[in-house]
Structure 1
Amino acid sequence: MDKLAAENKDEDELSIPRAALNKMIKELIPNIRVANDARELILNCCTEFIHLVSSEANEICNKQSKKTISPEHIIAALDHLGFGNYKEDAEAVLEETKAVAAKKRRGSSRLENLGIPEEELLRQQQELFAKAKQEQALLEQQQWLQTQQALQQQQLQLPQQPDSNDDDYS
Structure 2
Amino acid sequence: MGTIARRGPNECNGRVIRLCLSLGVTPVFAPPNETGFQAAIESFNGLWQAKVWQRFEHPRLSRLRQRSDDDLAALRQRRAVRISEAPSRRPFPSHWKLDLQAPLRGRIFFLRRTTDTGHATILGLSSLVDRQWPHRLVRAEVDLDHSSHPILRSPTTTT
Larger % of helix: which?
1
Q: Which structure's relative contact order is higher, taking Cα pairs within 8 Å and 6+ residues apart?
A: 2
Give the TM bin, normalised by the shorter chain.
Answer: under 0.3
With the length of structure 1 as denominator, give the TM-score of the two structures.
0.24
Larger % of strand: which?
2
With the length of structure 2 as denominator, give the TM-score of the two structures.
0.25
